[in-house]
Structure 1
Amino acid sequence: MTTTSPSPAATADWVDPAAMLRDPHETYDRLRELGPVVWVPALNRYLATTFEACRAIEADQETYSASVTGSGATMARALGAQPMLRKDDPEHATERAPVNPAMRPKRIREAWVPLFRCNAETYLDALIERGPGDADLNRDYAAPLAAHNLVDMLGLRGASPEDMRRWSHAFIAGIGNLHDDPEIWARCDAAQHEVDGLLDELVPYYRRNPDGSMTSAWSNGGLSDAAVRANVKLTISGGMNEPQHMITNIVWALSRHPEQCERVLADPSTWSAVFDEAVRWLSPIGMYPRETTRAAVLQGVELPAGATLGVVVGAANRDPAVFERPHDFDIARPKQPHLGFGSGVHLCAGHWAARISIGEVAVPLLYDRLPGLCTDPNREEQWYGWVFRGLTTLPVTWAAS
């Protein structure tokens, strides 16, 4: 019996971060060909791009820590402190426990679905008023709806959906600010100041008047003030960004696969499959960091202690070793796990909220009320990002009544 000795990581000195912002998938394919983990000088980190490498990292908190330092700590810089997503157990579990009850499917359907539906109807009316020649699905529906839903779930009394959108964009830009752009940090600092000012009022209020909101749960969960604030800001960033992009991603995907669109409209029970396949195919969370606590061998690749890793789930979700025809969108694909919401103990706390608010309410409602909904070929759409990736502009049209 022979065994393969561990080897140093291959180096990809050709990676162009600007090209990845436009579309990262060609880069991901080339990186996977070099190995499961590759050193990328332009990003000053190792990128793990295979499904098994990404899953192995999440399965071993002792070796691959979520509490990243140095150049990998952009989230703490953006949010003002380390949130639960950048902590390992038991600290991570302690900070997540207060909101777990509110994030269970039964509770979401009882407490939040009526609000999700009301908000969706409000912004769908605004989209329809724009008309099929001027409507932008991101601007007029996906972004304000995701923002309003998040204001309600967090219980950020006094904040508007526009406040939420602005804060989320500032925090997301900061979390992805791998090149230390001072203008991005300035926007982050301003957003932190505004959110902290609101929380100065809300945390004491919810300690006196607890309710079912996430801010109330954290405020009464025995956490430090810094932990409450960091986790509210974490939810502002991810809790708007991913649902917003999933609305536009699904419509974009179905517009390019009309036969699959017809299939789901004929059988609404397949909406859950549409949602899952869109998360796999167009992962809105493209990469998140980890750091080695000791020298390690990951899938046969040697890594030093203190190495910053990028867990590139956007690449792992198109790994041909795991997914047949990985670059194809196929809602009839056999059901199998993907990494669109992470995995292990850091599986996204809001994944059921996203599935229900988007996959069961926001997107089906669009197709119920807008016959012939599709992207508008006469107007330009825009994609951006790879750490977080989504459509920033998506013109749509439909059959006018």
Structure 2
Amino acid sequence: MTTTSTPAVPTADWVEPAAMPADPYPTYRRLLDESPVAWVPSLGRYLVTSFAACRAVEEDQETFSANVSGGAATLARALGARPMLRKDDPEHAGERRAVNPVLRPKTLRARWEPVFERNARTHLEVLRQRGPDDADLDRDYAGPVAAQNLIDLLGLKGAGVADMQRWSHAFIAGTGNLHDDPEIWRRCDAARSEVDALLDELVPHYRAHPDGTITSALVHGGLPLPDVAANVKLTISGGMNEPQHVVTGAVWALSRHPDQRDRVLADPALWPAVFEETVRWLSPIGMYPRETTRPVVLQGVPLPAGAPIGVVVAAANRDATVFERPDAFDIARPRQPHLGFGSGVHLCAGHWAARMSVGEIAVPLLHADLPGLRTDPRRPEAWHGWVFRGLTALPVSWDA
């Protein structure tokens, strides 16, 4: 009589979440080398770090559901209802279909490119007025540009840059509030009340006067009001971080690789490569959750039904089996897909808007109008997070 044994589940009990905001990449490298699918007790979930495994998860939404229990509960609590990001098809597809026309490349080029350029030029003047001894790229440019672009895309008439930044920070904190911190919920609830009050005014307006904004598209997409509101708040949550952090990340990376900065300044056709390499190398969205609907074996590791999973795309984007010299920033590397915007049916709906607003406009404009733009070592920079990661302070200088 022969018996088969169940493979052992790799356990990464050495992972220290408190150390990851400073620099998560040493942790990712060890996970990739030792156990690309591993149970992490300190996080209470399996972390999936290899490119192949992350792609496999996204290609099988019947097995790896976006409707996760823990994370979905805090997200729904933060936003007031479950948005499309935490739904599988066909529910997800129906809501996604409503906003897709607004975010197609042709529509973005015709309607939104001038808006993105106007917003970038407006805040470039704010940055310039700060002067090369006091300017902070995140505070004075990247954050405000990302916020104003989002206000315009959503059609949130009456909202200001400070409102958008406050709302986004509050919703993101609420989404991650697994420990039920009452102060986080207080800020999140206040933000939700403000956005809901604004939508109470705007939804009737868009019913009568449709336009090309995301909120108008959701209103006319047949969604009930709670779903319209949840998806507007979802866009507020996620639509600021990636473009904001790619602006600062690209400038930070080019400042540390002056040879590559010189190359792109001599050949502006390379700016899209700067954008893609920044998203791969610094991955503003580091991880997102999934949950198994049935027992499954993922890259040789058995997972039970209901297993909480962290899809660590920031690690996958530095997988040495896919990317040559993965820890190097290299705008000349061969063009190949990365997972900075996710993949599969949940590929970020705003990825073309980010490529245009940041890769074609916000970052090139900075370098064209501020000769010698560079980070300023006289003043401290600051990084934050690993689930969402980026520079929260980036002092810059230029040749006055």
Q: What's the CA shift for 1:5? A: 7.7
Quote how far apart the aligned CAs of 1:187 are: 1.4
Task: Return the offset for 1:31.
Answer: 1.6
Q: In structure 1, what is the Cα distance between the partners aligned to 2:359 and 2:103?
A: 16
Hey, what does 1:78 align to over in structure 2? 78
**Separation of aligned partners in 2, 1:71 and 1:98:** 24
Cα distance 1:278–1:35, how it changes in 2: closer, same or farther (>3 A)? same
Rounded Cα–Cα distance in structure 1 between residues aligned with 2:265 and 2:368: 9
**CA distance in 2 between partners of 1:116 and 1:369 (Å):** 16
CA apart distance, 1:23: 1.1
Determine if the alignment matches structure 1 residue 291 to structure 2 residue 291.
Answer: yes
In 1, Cα distance between equivalents of 2:22 and 2:178: 16
Matches within 5 A, 1:7-156: 7-70=7-70, 73-156=73-156
Equivalence map 1:2-401=2 (5 Å): 7-70=7-70, 73-400=73-400
Using the TM superposition, give the Cα deviation of residue 190 of structure 1 relative to its aligned residue in structure 2, in angstroms: 1.1
What is the CA distance between 1:36 and its match in structure 2? 2.0
Contact between 2:84 and 2:91, CA under 8 Å: does it hold in 1? yes
User: SS state of the match for residue 20, structure 2?
Assistant: helix
- SS of structure 2 residue aligned to 1:39: strand
Structure-2 change in CA distance of 1:338 and 1:133 (3 Å): same
Q: C-alpha separation between the residues in 2 aligned to 1:107 and 1:359?
A: 17
**SS across alignment from 1:112:** helix
- Structure 2 distance, partners of 1:228, 1:5, is 49
Q: Distance in 2 between matches of 1:333 and 1:181?
A: 44
Report if the CA contact (8 A) 1:243-1:354 is conserved.
yes
2:83 touches 2:230 (CA, 8 Å); kept in 1? yes
Q: Is the 8 A contact 2:71 2:176 kept in 1?
A: no
Deviations 1:169-228 (A, max 9, x none): 111122233443332222111111111111111111101111110000001110111110
Following TM superposition, by how much is the alpha carbon of 1:108 offset from its aligned partner in structure 2, in angstroms?
0.3
Identical residues among aligned pairs (%): 71
Rounded Cα–Cα distance in structure 2 between residues aligned with 1:5 and 1:82: 40
Q: Distance between the aligned counterparts of 1:53 and 1:177, measured in 2?
A: 27
Letter of the 1:193 partner, please give it. S
Q: 1:303–1:102: structure 2 CA closer, same or farther, 3 Å change rule?
A: same
User: Quick check: 1:43–1:178 contact (8 Å CA) kept in 2?
Assistant: no
For structure 2, which runs of at least 5 residues remain unmatched after alignment?
none
Residue deviations 1:137-192, cap 9 Å, x none?
A: 00000001110111000000111111000000111122233443332222111111
Residue type of the alignment partner of 1:171: F
Report the Cα offset of residue 61 of structure 1: 0.5
Q: Deviations over 1:101-141 (max 9, x none)?
A: 11011110110111111111110000000000000000000
Alpha carbons of structure 1 residues 398 and 75: separation in structure 2 relative to 1, 3 Å? same
* Structure 1 letter corresponding to 2:224: S
Please give the alpha-carbon distance, in whole angstroms, between the structure 2 residues aligned to 1:258 and 1:75.
41
Cα distance between partner residues in 2 of 1:183 and 1:49? 32
CA displacement at 1:72 relative to structure 2: 5.5
Distance in 1 (CA, whole Å) between partners of 2:70 and 2:176 is 14
CA offsets 1:261-305 (integer angstroms, 9 cap, x no match): 000000000100110000000000000000000111111100010
* Alpha carbons of structure 1 residues 5 and 247: separation in structure 2 relative to 1, 3 Å: farther
Letter in 2 for 1:173: A
User: 2 CA distance for matches of 1:214 and 1:72?
Assistant: 23
Residues 67 and 88 of structure 2 are in contact (CA less than 8 Å); yes or no, is this contact kept in structure 1? Answer: yes
Amino acid at match of 1:334: P
Query: CA separation in 2, counterparts of 1:58 and 1:180?
Result: 29
Q: In structure 2, what is the Cα distance between the partners aligned to 1:173 and 1:162?
A: 17
Output the amino acid matched with 2:44.
N
Q: Once the two structures are superposed, what CA deviation does each residue of 1:223-256 show, in whole Å capped at 9, x if it has no partner?
A: 1111101110010011111111110000000000
Q: Structure 1 residues 285, 211: CA separation in 2 closer, same or farther (over 3 Å shift)?
A: same
* SS of equivalent to 1:341: coil
Residues 328-385 of structure 1, C-alpha deviation per residue, up to 9 Å, x if partnerless?
0000000111000000010000000000000001111001100000000111000000
CA distance, structure 2, for counterparts of residue 72 and residue 298 of structure 1: 22
What TM-score, normalized to structure 1?
Answer: 0.97
What secondary structure, in the 3-state scheme, does the structure 2 residue paired with 1:322 have?
Answer: coil
Alpha-carbon separation, structure 1, partners of 2:366 and 2:179: 38
Number of paired residues?
Answer: 397
How far residue 6 of structure 1 moved from its aligned partner, in angstroms, is 6.0
For residues 65-124 of structure 1, what are the alpha-carbon distances to aligned partners after superposition, in whole Å with 9 as ceiling and x for unaligned? 001113553322221211111110000010011111110111101101111111111100
Whether the aligned pair in 1 keeps the contact of 2:72 and 2:82 (CA below 8 Å) is no
| Runs of at least 5 residues in structure 1 that lack an aligned partner in the other structure | none
